[in-house]
Amino acid sequence: MLDLITPHAILPNLKAGNKKQALQEMARKASELIGQHERAIFDVLLERERLGTTGVGHGIAIPHGKLPGLDRVHGVFARLERPIDFDAIDDQPVDLIFLLLAPEQAGADHLKALARVSRLLRDQSMCEKLRGSESADAIYALLTQQEASHPG
Residue 113 makes CB contacts below 8 A (sequence gap 6+) with 4, 73, 75, 100, 102
Q: State how far the Cα of 27 lies from the Cα of 9, in Å rounded to an integer.
A: 11
Task: Please check whether residue 126 is in contact with residue 142, taking contact to mean a CB–CB distance below 8 angstroms.
Answer: yes
Any idea which residues carry the catalytic annotation?
Answer: 64
- Under 8 Å between Cβ of 101 and 73: yes
Q: What angle do CA 100, 36, 99 make, to 5 degrees?
A: 15
Instruction: Give 16's Cβ-side CA count (13 Å radius).
Output: 27
CA dihedral 135, 126, 1, 103 (to 10 degrees): -90
